[in-house]
Structure 1
Amino acid sequence: MPSIAELNKYEAETRGEFGIGSAAQFGSADLRKAVHVNENFRRANFTSADMRESDFSGCTFNGAYLEKAVAYKTNFSGADLSDTLMDRMVLNEANFTNAVLVRSVLTRSDLGGAIIVGADFSDAVIDLPQKQALCKYASGTNPVTGVSTRASLGCGNSRRNAYGTPSSPLLSAPPQQLLDRDGFCDQGTGLCEATK
């Protein structure tokens, strides 16, 4: 319908809905080895985009949609990725040096080999195995927020959620206890808690 196309064009020209953001549409776009330094992509759509080996350093992505995008070896150093939806992304060896990922959703994303020196993951939603892998080498303090990378990931925090994350609720759940027919834990299973 032409009216929707005109509205989308108007939003893009006025920097997004209500003048907030870019409303840029990069869904399924081929952005391999693209250079976009210090640009505003607030509330933009990068769903399923191919961003391999691109440079998005210093860019603002607040509230952007990046789900299912491929960002292998992409440079996000110094970028503001807070409040972004980044689930099911390929982020292998991506550079997040000094990036802000506060409240980002990174469920089911692959962060293998990502550079996270000085990145702030405060209140981000990350699958437990990814978080544990990142904690093995997390270091630095974010220059913008002043939060250490290890603290933002909750590394070494014994108070972590006992039941995992929303995307993998049983990953860190306590072992199941098998009950006998009277409703008590069957000691023969070896899964009962030790009695003191």
Structure 2
Amino acid sequence: MAAAVIVSSSGVPAMAELNKFEADTRGEFGIGSAAQYGSADLSKTVHSNENFRRANFTSADMRESDFSGSTFNGAYLEKAVAYKANFSGADLSDTLMDRMVLNEANLTNAVLVRSVLTRSDLGGAKIEGADFSDAVIDLLQKQALCKYATGTNPLTGVDTRKSLGCGNSRRNAYGSPSSPLLSAPPQRLLGRDGFCDEKTGLCDVK
């Protein structure tokens, strides 16, 4: 059965007009949900203090671009390449950042609450003052960040090290949802995790 196509007074299919309207108003209710940048070349561009809420940046090239102060709540950034990109002061909460390249990216004072960073590379990223509360980060990546994490987020007031779960405590040692060591700790852990007694292999529960 053929679907009926509604044509507006301008002769343009109504759906096309609706899509254009959504894009022009930056999405549903004007909150940025229809912006599409999938696979786009955004390298070395300036998009500071913009609204990218629920936008799609899947596989986009964002290298050395300036997104400082911008809002990305609920945006999709999986597989995006953001080498040396500037996200300082940006709101990246509730974003999907799986397999994202963030080498040497500037995340100073950024909010990454509940963001998903599984299999993402943050090598050399600037994270002073960043808030990673409840973010999903691979255990080895989290441990690397904890080696130099400092500062307190000026917006949320949360300490960067605390938000990453740095330190030797039961919650912090197993707090990374992307780690194979989920929920309650087992009796023994491999020494590579760095939280256990070398002789017994048992973890110090505080």
TM-score bracket for this pair, using the shorter chain length:
0.7 to 0.9
SS in structure 2 at match of 1:40: coil
- Which amino acid in structure 1 is aligned with residue 78 of structure 2? E
Query: Per-residue CA shift, 1:145-185, capped at 9, x if unaligned?
Result: 00010010010041247777554426997669xxxxxxxxx
> What TM-score do you get using the length of structure 1 for normalisation?
0.81
1:50 alignment counterpart: 61
Tell me if structure 1 keeps the 8 A contact 2:55–2:75: yes
SS in structure 2 at match of 1:152: helix
Compute the displacement of 1:86 (Å). Answer: 0.5
Within the candidate set 96, 108, 115, 1:85 is matched to 96
Tell me if structure 2 keeps the 8 A contact 1:127–1:164: no
- Which amino acid in structure 2 is aligned with residue 85 of structure 1? L
Residue 76 of structure 2 is aligned to residue 76 of structure 1: no
Describe the shift of the 1:164–1:143 C-alpha distance in structure 2 as closer, same or farther (beyond 3 A).
closer
Note the 1:62-141 alignment, pairs <5 A. Answer: 62-141=73-152
Bigger drift between 154-163 and 29-38 goes to 154-163
Describe the shift of the 1:89–1:62 C-alpha distance in structure 2 as closer, same or farther (beyond 3 A).
same
Within the candidate set 2, 6, 17, 2:28 is matched to 17
1:60 alignment counterpart: 71
Tell me if structure 1 keeps the 8 A contact 2:31–2:51: no
Query: Per-residue CA shift, 1:54-85, capped at 9, x if unaligned?
Result: 11111111111100000000000010101111
Compute the displacement of 1:37 (Å). Answer: 1.1
In 1, Cα distance between the equivalents of 2:172 and 2:180? 10
- Paired residues, what number? 179
Q: CA RMSD in A?
A: 2.5
> What TM-score do you get using the length of structure 2 for normalisation?
0.78
Within the candidate set 23, 32, 53, 2:43 is matched to 32
Bigger drift between 154-163 and 135-144 goes to 154-163
Which stretches of structure 1, 4 residues or longer, exceed 3 Å deviation after superposition? 1-7, 160-168, 170-176
5+ unaligned residues in a row in structure 2: which ranges?
Answer: 6-12, 190-199
SS in structure 2 at match of 1:155: coil
Tell me if structure 2 keeps the 8 A contact 1:162–1:174: no
- Which amino acid in structure 1 is aligned with residue 32 of structure 2? G
Query: Per-residue CA shift, 1:30-66, capped at 9, x if unaligned?
Result: 0110111111111111000000011111111111110
Bigger drift between 2-11 and 148-157 goes to 2-11
Q: Taking every aligned residue pair, what percent have the same amino acid on both sides?
A: 84
Describe the shift of the 1:165–1:38 C-alpha distance in structure 2 as closer, same or farther (beyond 3 A).
same
In 1, Cα distance between the equivalents of 2:132 and 2:106? 14
